[in-house]
Amino acid sequence: MRDLNLLPKAHLHLHFTGSMRVATLERLAERQGMRLPEGLTDNRALHVPSDQRGWFRFQRAYDAARKVVRSEESMRTIVREAAEDDAAESSRRLEIQIDPTSYAPFLGGITPALEIVLDEAKAANAATGVEIAVIVAASRIRHPLEARTLARLAARHAGDGPGDVVGFGLSNDERRGTTSQWASAFRIARKAGLPAVPHGGELLGPEHVREVIDHLAPTRIGHGVRSSEDSDLLGRIVDAGIALEVCPASNVSLGVYPDSRRVPVRDLVDAGATVALGADDPLLFLSRLTDQYEALRAQGFTDAELAGLAAQHREGGSDGAALAVSGSLHSSNPVSDGIDLKSSPAANREMGEKIVAALQGMGKGVKAITFLGQGVRYDSYLVQFADYADWDKLYDRFCSAMGIPKDSSTVRTEQYAGLPHAHEIKILRHEDTWHKLEKNDFESALKQYHGDFLIPCCIGADEGGKAVFADLYEAPHILVGGTTRMGKSVLVSSIMKSLFELNRQDSFEAAIFDPAANYSVFKTAPNLWQGGIHGERSRFLPLLENLVDEMNGRLALLREHDAEKIQHLPEEYRPKLLIVLLEELAALLDTDKNAEKPIIQMLQEGAKTGIHMILVTQEPNSQTFSSKLLANLPSRIALRVVKPGSSRMILGEGGAEYLTSKGDHLVKWNGSAARFLHGYNV
């Protein structure tokens, strides 16, 4: 008999916290002085009935384990050890599933929580040889609106390599919520090319599997084992090429089947279904990937069958349905092989050929190049390289080869999602050819909004002149900074105007603190907090303390209704959203240090109560802005600054010192990568 531990495999169903080693759990708990439930450390696999009470016991144990994960170090340890454990079982690929929401409070938000996992996945891949990708999963026990937020986050990190997000899932108790409620989140993910990999068909039977297929259009289904109970449904799954991630140990521990011999893998395979084996939560079930293969051997699967199953996992189904989500995430390729510049204007054709010559002179093979068009200030070219291109290392050499300045305003580059080794290269045109974005452009843009954001706002226009909308709910607070006369107030005015236009007037209030009278255009707005704009800086501290009192009242309301956020309150008890705009923040903190305390209080707890802050300042400095204040501002907008240090203070990185024109700005939304946008002249 073959040693199944040596069989090359892929591991496609493993949860982040549930992958933790027991020894690691104990070490982290001891370090933090936490007491663990006996069931997590007694070296006995969890066994519960398949009812609500059983799930509650499972969830309680899982939550206890999750509580020890409170630092970047602990998250990196879990990813690294999961890779090491999979490598020891000859796993060639691991797709680890995570909902970053649970870890966000300790790491500054969902974005850094996810990016830590992605970064460590790349490092662990290099160290172990296991190709590690990530699935972002929403939770059924959280509000569906939060799933949309996670889907947008997943979309920003979509790819097909180690350390990329390769799918979007939905986990936790199948009996919670209505599946259709999460359909919009899956649509968002699907637009980014991310396959749907939701859970279904373990605790609930065939009818729920049908709901998952109908509403979420899955590529794979987590578990799906109960589809064996309905031959018509199983045939539909086979015909659609939907793979099933079967986890025998989980099925037994959660009381779905009395023992692993009863898990109907044979029925699924004989019907032609593509089956992938997964360990689900080894921490709780004390059963890893090889153990799942051993369970099938005990059912009568031959070594040849098991080897074929493992090969299918690694390479995808024979019918072409990718099982390991490792191929291209997009079905269409906008670049045809070769130089596609014949239809371009002469100047752009010449520039495209110059780009190719420069890159080839640097030893970088170019598979294809296409002129994408003329933007507000830049001409854009899509370049597909023959192999990997690291622009951090190539940038200076490219600028030298092109004979243009080495700064991020003259040449901008960004990876083109969904196309291997592709980058968009933007070349700045002469100022005489720049397009202006005026008030009428802004008004027209707002009419084109058709999104599903909870608190939509317009944060500028991209290089193509298309309005960019964001969800203030995701932010959940914004710091806007830049030097004098670079368009801060105009930009913030446009953001505020978009909030007034895109949100129901009766759904929110705006508390505007404006000592410089920059926002007098809003003085007649009907939904101003306390009936007007506040301009006397000496009154700001007591007013901010009044806002804290309002926040505390809302927190008490949440506790009364056992709700996490105001969006979860019954509508009749739900207070209005409150947008707090505070101008000249640095000047306020310089004159009254006590003002920092209520601001930080609202930054820390305001979002859950529907209070969101927009803080505006001149170029900040470390003497004025504490690290605690900045740590609670994951969303940043920087206009032009004079000093690189000011850019780093606002954004956490340089670049704003290279912005060329009034209104141009860099945006980091909830910790995402900086994005270059233009402002509207409103």
Tens-digit pLDDT profile for residues 71-107: 999 999 999 999 999 999 999 999 999 999 989 988 9
Read off the pLDDT band of 330 (50, 70, 90). Answer: very low
What is residue 566's predicted lDDT score, i.e. its pLDDT?
Answer: 92
- Cβ burial of 572 (10 Å; 0-12, 13-18, 19+) is exposed
Does residue 637 have a pLDDT over 90? yes
| 335 has a pLDDT exceeding 60 | no
HEC readout, 145-207: HHHHHHHHHHHHCECCCCCCEEEEEEECCCCCCCHHHHHHHHHHHHHCCCCECCEECCCCCHH
pLDDT for the residue numbered 165: 96
Q: Predicted confidence band at 258 (pLDDT cuts at 50, 70, 90)?
A: very high
Q: Which residue has the tokens 């000011």?
A: 646
Neighbours of 621 (CB within 10 A): 14
Judge whether residue 316 has pLDDT over 50: no
pLDDT confidence band for 1 (50 / 70 / 90): low
Report d(CA 300, CA 193) in Å as an integer.
Answer: 38
Residue 680 has pLDDT above 60, yes or no: yes
Question: What is the pLDDT averaged over residues 490-515?
Answer: 94
The predicted-structure confidence for 95-141, as pLDDT tens digits, reads as follows 999 999 989 988 988 999 999 999 999 999 999 999 999 999 999 99
pLDDT at 652 over 60: yes
Rounded-to-integer distance, Cα 169 and Cα 572, Å: 32
Please compute the mean of the pLDDT values over residues 187-215 and round it to a whole number.
95
CA 482 to CA 44: how far, in whole Å? 58
Mean pLDDT of 35-41: 90
Q: What mean pLDDT, rounded, does the chain reach?
A: 89
225, pLDDT greater than 60 = yes
Report the run of H or E that residue 263 belongs to, with start and end. Answer: none
pLDDT at 290: 96
In the numeric block, the tokens 């460590």 are attached to 120
What distance in Å separates the CA atoms of residue 361 and residue 373, rounded to the nearest whole number? 25
**Spacing of C-alpha 144 from chain mean position:** 15
- List b or e across 328-349, with b for residues whose CB sees 16 or more CB atoms inside 10 angstroms: ebeeeeebeeeebbeebeeebe
pLDDT tens sequence across 370-393 = 887 888 989 988 898 888 888 888
Q: What is the mean pLDDT of residues 483-508?
A: 93
**Portion of the chain with pLDDT greater than 70, in percent:** 94
**320 confidence band (pLDDT: 50, 70, 90):** very low
Q: What is the pLDDT of residue 331?
A: 28
Contact 599, 479 (CB under 8 A): no
157-161, 243-247, 304-308, 623-627 — which one is most confidently predicted on average? 243-247
Residue 277: per-residue pLDDT = 96
Q: Which residues are catalytic?
A: 202
pLDDT of 216 > 80? The answer is: yes
Say how many residues make up the chain.
Answer: 682
Contacts of 462 (CB under 8 A, 6+ apart): 375, 468, 677, 678
At residue 485, does pLDDT exceed 60?
yes
* Consecutive H or E run containing 20: none
Q: pLDDT (tens digit, 9 = 90+) per residue, 589-613?
A: 998 889 999 999 999 999 999 999 9
Angstrom distance (rounded) from CA 296 to CA 225: 14
Long-range contacts (CB closer than 8 Å, 24 or more residues apart) made by 343-349: 344/371, 348/374, 348/379, 348/381
pLDDT tens digits for range 441-482:
999 989 888 777 899 999 999 888 889 999 999 999 999 999
Q: Which residues contact 577 (CB under 8 A, 6 or more apart)?
A: 455, 503, 507, 508, 509, 610, 611, 612
What was the pLDDT predicted at 626? 87
Q: What is the pTM of this model?
A: 0.54
Asked if the model's pLDDT at residue 315 lies above 50, the reply is no
Considering only CA atoms, which of 476, 480, 482, 481 is closest in space to residue 670? 476
Residue 52: predicted pLDDT: 84
Unique residue bearing structure tokens 């790819």: 159
Q: What is the pLDDT of residue 317?
A: 32
Which range among 112-121, 616-625, 645-654 shows the weakest confidence by mean pLDDT? 616-625
Residue 329 has pLDDT above 60, yes or no: no
CB atoms within 10 A of CB 551: 22
Residue that wins the pLDDT comparison between 431 and 282: 282
Mean pLDDT of 205-230: 96
3-class DSSP string for 63-130: HHHHCCCCCHHHHHHHHHHHHHHHHHCCEEEEEEEECHHHCHHHHCCHHHHHHHHHHHHHHHHHHHCC
Q: Token pair of 679, please?
A: 């402002």
